[in-house]
Structure 1
Amino acid sequence: MKFPKFSCPVYKYGDKDYEFYRYQYATSSQPREKMSPAAIIRPQHPNADPDVLTAIRYAAANKLAIAVRTGGHAYSGTSSTTKKNIQLDLSEAYNEWDYNPETGLLQVGISHTLLEFNTRLKEAGLFMPTGQCYDVHVGGHAQTGGYGQLSRAFGLFSDQIVSFEIFLADGTKRVVAADSPDQFDKDLFFAVLGGGPGNYGIVTRITVRPYRDSDHRYSRAYKKFVPYDPKLDHNILVQLLELVMDWEHAPSDYDFCVTVAAGEEDFISNLIGSASRDAFMIKHFKDLNHSSPFNILMVYFQYSNYDNKRDSYDPSWCKRIDAIFSTVNKGGSWWERFKLWIEQKILNRLDRQDNSKITRMSESITKLWTYKGTREFNYPYLKYGQVTDKVASDDWPEWAASRIDAMVGRSHEGLMVFSQCQNFGGKHSSVTKNGKLKQTSYAWRNTTVGLNLDIFYNKNMPGAQTAAHKWHTDNRREAIGRHGKFSTSDHRWFWASHDHINMHQMWRHYYSDKDYERCCKVKKKVDPKGVFTPNSFVVGYTPKSAPKHASLNKAQIDEAEIFGQSEEVLDDSMYTKGHTDRAKLRAKAKGIDVTEFFR
């Protein structure tokens, strides 16, 4: 079948602008051949449906597969594909926004970024639990869970979905509701929400039930940044991680997260929300991606005021954070203390918050919790995320802090650490309570502690890639197993997929037996020819049963992992430079003012 005509822009392999539109988060860390579709098709709002349908019919007729991208933030690169297949880039396809104040329901197109989505909610006095990264789009976020700073209080973003609209492989469009009496719809709802984004069809719109600021009038937030020096503050980090572990006993509307990051030029500028070449950044960091003079320890706390009463807030949980920080940056020589004092002055430019003040929920999400960059650092990375319902050893905070400290302060060697730790669970957690409904296939709902240990590395610095790989491998070996420091079981969440991405080998890390079997049955029923199987990280994939466009030989299976495979030459700044301006233009075209966000 001849390549069809589309009304929207199409970029074929080798076209002038192909490289720009091919780029996404994982491009720096995946082999080029796995992230180079034969054509990138970009349907445009408000006439996206005909082009989406044409792409589905073309793929089905020619035994090709479609990779689906909205924001392109998949760490494992699974929203792209090889030259055997095509990609649907839906980043500008579905911009609908229809809120009904009488029903409290919002129908929204999946092409909104989280910045656009949360800003629009804020303008209406509404909010929802979402992730942090502003450039993540609603489509992928909805299908990978939407874990974020409000998860204990409200559950996942996807827990708020009432229904979604989806194109299936046979070209039919279907509205699938959570409360549908039809068993097929129940199974499809379950599989699409948790079974891998774009693996069952093309989700175009979702209907959600946002929360109102007016129902949480006395909410509070706490956000603090300090320069982190392991020689002086190792015990501070250990105590904070211990508090994360204990947080499962906190009331359900109290959320808490700890982050440690290298303070690289691009990371700091994103936190500030400024263009990376403004006068402030040039003054303090001189050159683009200049190695950082310091590292950052950040904490986030949110009280969501469930009962909407003025006097319900218990400050004791936040006082525990303050008590830990009361000894930060103490000791050392006068020069070390002076240097930390200067670094703190720089960090004071960032958005901080004192929990003594009432802060609207929508204000917390848009101003405090949202990260203002497309990625943490413009370098290749090794991601590592684990979750557990019970930490394996009492000394895991000491172990985790020591592993982080091993990479802190090494940006001059081309090594930049980014680590987050958050408590999602306990008997009061909405992640746990919502999971008991079994409406979606997101696994490990009994999780208490989630831990990410990520490393970015500059391949041009001698030894950086080797050191990053060793640190990453040692973390995996020491964290998990019979004698593991963090957990005896290797449990992962789909959004933080890492290492091998062959679902045939790895599915037990992401699903229970029963849930995976149910997802596989749905996949076989709605997509028997593999129209939405563009790679090996798809539910139901096996080397024997996979369609030819997705099959891998033995050597490729062994190489299907997220390290040691990044492109030889890649300038990530080519894409990230000017991204702030593009984000402003996108939002302006939709009537959304985000100037406050990008100061």
Structure 2
Amino acid sequence: MTNTKTTMLLDPSKFSGKVMQRQPLTGTLTEWVASAYQYAYTSIQDPENECNPAYIIYVENDNDIFLAMEYAVANDIGIAVRSGGHQYNAASSTAFNNIQIDLSGRESSQKENYLYKKVSIEDNNGDKYITIGCGVALGDISELLIQNGLFFPRGECATVHIGGHSNTGGMSPITPIFGAMIDHVVEFEFICSKYPDGTKTIRRPDLWIDDKEKGIPQQENDELFWAVLGGSPGNFGILTHLTIKCLKDADYPHTRGLKLAWPYSKEAVEAISQIVCEVSDNPELSAYASISAVVVGPEYFYPHRHPSAPLKSKGGMTLDDEMLKQYPELAGEDKFNYVGLGHGMIAVYGAFLNPTGNENYEEQLKQFEEVRDKFLKVPGCIPPKDFPIIKSIVKGIFNIAEWFEEKILGNKEKAAELDAFHKSLELDDIMYGEKYIPISQVLNNLSWDNPREYSLSYKKLSYMGNSRAMSKVNNQLSTLPIMKGVSKDNLRFSTWLANEIHSVVSSPDTYHGMYMAVQFGVIGGPGLVNPQSSGGGQVSYNSLSHRASNFWFDYDVFFNPEIEGCTENTQQYIDGIAHMVINNTINLFKDGKQQRVLLGPSFPLGEKPILDKYWSYFYDSEEQYNQLCQLKTKFDEKNVFTANLMCVGATKVKRMQPFLDHLMKDEELSK
């Protein structure tokens, strides 16, 4: 499908950066496919009509952005903005006659001096501020922050870039205490169509000054600060740099890190998820401890499972494999596909965040250690290279070293499997919560360097829940076939989750080509409800939704589309999970209203990625979404930054009809 409107050719010679004109999409990694590619490329239904712009401009400077905007206005087309391309629904991409702007610096001749990858730290009367270009990946700044003893809340995916992270909130493993990343932003540099004369500095409302050169009137300043930070996947304009007030390691001298790993087993999943739920249900405990868990690739643990040689016709490598190898900056140095070395795993990520510093922390730390010891009692926890360390930590409660020697080393086959798994882990990052580790280092250790669990297509579900009964008996679960035979006392989320995951793991023929990645844990707390308590701004300063949440739940299934029926089977399976969540069978939502993460999970049950239609899942109220739509019209009247249907108010833009026609086909969009 093509747009009937003819667009005048763009003159690449006017730009300082590289300009690429659309070429045919192929199943191989051509230069054009590599440029059009982003995280969602191999998972969206039709890349030709969702992820294939007329031009891709690797901008070198602000002038390149203004030139692209001028061209877009003259030709009534839209601009999609990509800082890293990690958005799960390709909301940072576009198609038809629209333009893709890329701020990653991937094609820049400036390399480390690329404008939008610059980072600096400044001291202002003892307060520390970091200014970061939107093309910087979270993992790029980790070492700098550690060296300076500084931190701020940020996500665990090291290859997520600052630009998109700020637009969707910036949730973090330390969010329960310190809020989201955007709660600590004090100003950002911004380009929008209302002000085509130059880049503007947008300041936090309480820090606004009458800046005649780069400022704007206070009301508009406050409106943009609110809308841009947390309000949409980046369609009010382009955030080029942002400044964050950092927190200091020294103010939290008793922090602990927790990063534990187990080989996959159904029993371990159930025990671990129950502990996580108990922490989430306890508002006092989750006010100073952050705990989450991830189950990745359990099917790898079963040698009898049919191997899914990904996309065999392409030499055993998927397009995602090829992309990550060709562009290692997207994959993380030396981290290529480290999951999937032959074993499924369960990991627990956590920290004691010491919110009170030196005051009254002892009892809090004691309760955190009790939680830690519960995890260490779960059989199979991988010990460090030095077994006595574990013995000193558990204090005789449970001797993992003895269990390891008795249950594993006595079984040569199991010992070989576990030894290989053990060697595949980044053991330097394993943390047992027994000693002080600065929060800056904890965040580094809790990051995922690999950009995706599997180099395959995926269906992703991502929810934020507000139930404080996740660890409790839930009689609704008795209606599920998978819970048949489960005693009344065990009708819990943890039992359901373990049974659900294992139903896939234990049925390799039925679920051939499907690979699991499930994450869940504590997300909310005093820092999210009131970021001022940890040095952040007021809740009203930005538009982040779902602040009353306390639990997050991601259920992802990766799949091999070359296996016959695998795409359809995966969709059917993920729809089943979504149905249980949406109907609140698993009791994730206290009030029954589903809450999704704006980062962009897959749309199940026949839904389409149209923000105007499904806004209620991502925002707190209709009033909030209407306000965002009004501000979109105010600051982007000609819809320069409306380039796909995950944009605020996109269905009201006439030139978006080809996108609607493509997505809806014969279905009628609800008016």
Indicate the residue corresponding to 1:32 in structure 2: 47
Residues in 1 aligned to 2:665 and 2:368: alpha-carbon distance in whole angstroms: 47
Residues in 2 aligned to 1:527 and 1:381: alpha-carbon distance in whole angstroms: 33
Q: Do 2:104 and 2:117's aligned partners in 1 also have CA atoms closer than 8 Å?
A: no
Residues in 1 aligned to 2:521 and 2:666: alpha-carbon distance in whole angstroms: 31
Higher alpha-carbon deviation: 101-110 or 305-314: 305-314
Is 1:421 aligned to residue 520 of structure 2? yes
Indicate the residue corresponding to 2:498 in structure 1: 401
Q: CA deviation at 1:216?
A: 2.1
Which runs of structure 1 show a deviation greater than 4 angstroms over 4 or more consecutive aligned residues?
263-267, 269-273, 329-341, 409-412
Q: Do 1:6 and 1:51's aligned partners in 2 also have CA atoms closer than 8 Å?
A: yes
Indicate the residue corresponding to 1:42 in structure 2: 58
Q: Do 1:418 and 1:454's aligned partners in 2 also have CA atoms closer than 8 Å?
A: yes
Equivalent in 215, 227, 244 of residue 208 of structure 1: 244
Query: Secondary structure of the equivalent of 1:100?
Result: strand
Indicate the residue corresponding to 1:140 in structure 2: 164
Residues 297 and 338 from structure 1, CA distance in 2 versus in 1: closer, same or farther, beyond 3 angstroms?
A: farther
Q: Do 2:187 and 2:204's aligned partners in 1 also have CA atoms closer than 8 Å?
A: yes
Indicate the residue corresponding to 2:275 in structure 1: 240
Q: Do 2:270 and 2:494's aligned partners in 1 also have CA atoms closer than 8 Å?
A: no
Residues in 2 aligned to 1:245 and 1:339: alpha-carbon distance in whole angstroms: 37
Is 1:364 aligned to residue 439 of structure 2? no
Q: CA deviation at 1:335?
A: 10
Residues 187 and 338 from structure 1, CA distance in 2 versus in 1: closer, same or farther, beyond 3 angstroms?
A: farther
Indicate the residue corresponding to 1:564 in structure 2: none
Matches within 5 A, 1:346-357: 346-349=420-423, 350=425, 351-357=429-435
Q: Do 2:561 and 2:567's aligned partners in 1 also have CA atoms closer than 8 Å?
A: yes
Query: Secondary structure of the equivalent of 2:530?
Result: helix
Q: CA deviation at 1:97?
A: 2.3
Q: Do 1:239 and 1:324's aligned partners in 2 also have CA atoms closer than 8 Å?
A: no
Query: Secondary structure of the equivalent of 1:397?
Result: helix
Q: Do 1:257 and 1:301's aligned partners in 2 also have CA atoms closer than 8 Å?
A: yes
Matches within 5 A, 1:67-216: 67-92=80-105, 93-102=115-124, 103-170=127-194, 171-172=196-197, 173-179=199-205, 180=208, 182-216=218-252
Q: Do 1:217 and 1:308's aligned partners in 2 also have CA atoms closer than 8 Å?
A: yes
Residues 175 and 492 from structure 1, CA distance in 2 versus in 1: closer, same or farther, beyond 3 angstroms?
A: same
Q: Do 1:237 and 1:401's aligned partners in 2 also have CA atoms closer than 8 Å?
A: no
Indicate the residue corresponding to 1:526 in structure 2: 635
Query: Secondary structure of the equivalent of 1:183?
Result: helix
Q: Do 1:295 and 1:409's aligned partners in 2 also have CA atoms closer than 8 Å?
A: no
Q: Do 1:391 and 1:485's aligned partners in 2 also have CA atoms closer than 8 Å?
A: no
Q: CA deviation at 1:337?
A: 6.3
Indicate the residue corresponding to 1:556 in structure 2: 663
Q: Which amino acid aligns with 2:353?
A: S
Residues 336 and 558 from structure 1, CA distance in 2 versus in 1: closer, same or farther, beyond 3 angstroms?
A: farther
Residues 90 and 14 from structure 1, CA distance in 2 versus in 1: closer, same or farther, beyond 3 angstroms?
A: same
Matches within 5 A, 1:304-453: 304-309=353-358, 312-313=361-362, 314-329=365-380, 339-349=413-423, 350=425, 351-366=429-444, 368-390=445-467, 394=472, 395-408=492-505, 413-426=512-525, 429-434=526-531, 437-453=539-555
Residues in 2 aligned to 1:9 and 1:239: alpha-carbon distance in whole angstroms: 52
Indicate the residue corresponding to 2:10 in structure 1: 3
Is 1:12 aligned to residue 121 of structure 2? no
Residues in 2 aligned to 1:358 and 1:91: alpha-carbon distance in whole angstroms: 35
Q: CA deviation at 1:515?
A: 1.2
Residues 559 and 259 from structure 1, CA distance in 2 versus in 1: closer, same or farther, beyond 3 angstroms?
A: farther
Indicate the residue corresponding to 1:568 in structure 2: none
Q: CA deviation at 1:336?
A: 11
Query: Secondary structure of the equivalent of 1:401?
Result: helix
Matches within 5 A, 1:572-587: none
Percent identical residues: 25
Higher alpha-carbon deviation: 337-346 or 453-462: 337-346
Residues in 1 aligned to 2:413 and 2:618: alpha-carbon distance in whole angstroms: 44
Residues in 1 aligned to 2:568 and 2:15: alpha-carbon distance in whole angstroms: 45
Residues in 1 aligned to 2:344 and 2:631: alpha-carbon distance in whole angstroms: 46
Query: Secondary structure of the equivalent of 1:224?
Result: strand
Q: Which amino acid aligns with 1:365?
A: L
Q: CA deviation at 1:17?
A: 2.0
| Aligned Cα root-mean-square deviation (Å) | 3.1
Q: Which amino acid aligns with 2:613?
A: Q
Residues in 2 aligned to 1:87 and 1:301: alpha-carbon distance in whole angstroms: 38
Residues 467 and 524 from structure 1, CA distance in 2 versus in 1: closer, same or farther, beyond 3 angstroms?
A: same
Query: Secondary structure of the equivalent of 1:196?
Result: coil
Residues 473 and 57 from structure 1, CA distance in 2 versus in 1: closer, same or farther, beyond 3 angstroms?
A: same
Indicate the residue corresponding to 1:513 in structure 2: 622
Q: CA deviation at 1:559?
A: 9.2
Residues in 1 aligned to 2:583 and 2:192: alpha-carbon distance in whole angstroms: 40
Indicate the residue corresponding to 1:504 in structure 2: 612
Residues in 1 aligned to 2:138 and 2:430: alpha-carbon distance in whole angstroms: 21
Indicate the residue corresponding to 1:486 in structure 2: 588
Q: CA deviation at 1:159?
A: 0.9
Residues in 2 aligned to 1:480 and 1:149: alpha-carbon distance in whole angstroms: 25
Q: Which amino acid aligns with 2:57?
A: I
**What TM-score, normalized by structure 2, do the two folds share?**
0.74
Q: CA deviation at 1:437?
A: 2.3
Indicate the residue corresponding to 2:214 in structure 1: none
Residues 159-214 of structure 1: CA distance to partner in whole angstroms, max 9, x if unpaired?
A: 11111111111424221111238222111111111221321001111111011222
Residues in 2 aligned to 1:356 and 1:12: alpha-carbon distance in whole angstroms: 55
Q: Do 1:134 and 1:370's aligned partners in 2 also have CA atoms closer than 8 Å?
A: yes
Residues in 1 aligned to 2:560 and 2:568: alpha-carbon distance in whole angstroms: 11
Higher alpha-carbon deviation: 62-71 or 488-497: 488-497
Q: CA deviation at 1:480?
A: 1.9
Equivalent in 329, 338, 348 of residue 299 of structure 1: 348
Q: CA deviation at 1:463?
A: 3.8
Q: CA deviation at 1:554?
A: 4.6
Is 1:220 aligned to residue 317 of structure 2? no
Higher alpha-carbon deviation: 467-476 or 402-411: 402-411
Query: Secondary structure of the equivalent of 1:54?
Result: helix
Residues in 2 aligned to 1:446 and 1:227: alpha-carbon distance in whole angstroms: 34
Q: Which amino acid aligns with 2:235?
A: N
Q: Which amino acid aligns with 2:659?
A: L
Q: Which amino acid aligns with 1:17?
A: E
Query: Secondary structure of the equivalent of 2:225?
Result: helix
Q: Do 2:408 and 2:415's aligned partners in 1 also have CA atoms closer than 8 Å?
A: no
Residues 334 and 297 from structure 1, CA distance in 2 versus in 1: closer, same or farther, beyond 3 angstroms?
A: closer
Equivalent in 439, 455, 460 of residue 557 of structure 2: 455
Residues in 2 aligned to 1:451 and 1:523: alpha-carbon distance in whole angstroms: 30
Query: Secondary structure of the equivalent of 2:159?
Result: coil
Residues in 1 aligned to 2:23 and 2:661: alpha-carbon distance in whole angstroms: 29
Structure 2: state its 5+ residue gaps. 1-7, 25-29, 106-114, 210-217, 302-320, 381-402, 473-491, 532-536
Q: Do 2:270 and 2:497's aligned partners in 1 also have CA atoms closer than 8 Å?
A: no
Residues in 2 aligned to 1:436 and 1:404: alpha-carbon distance in whole angstroms: 40
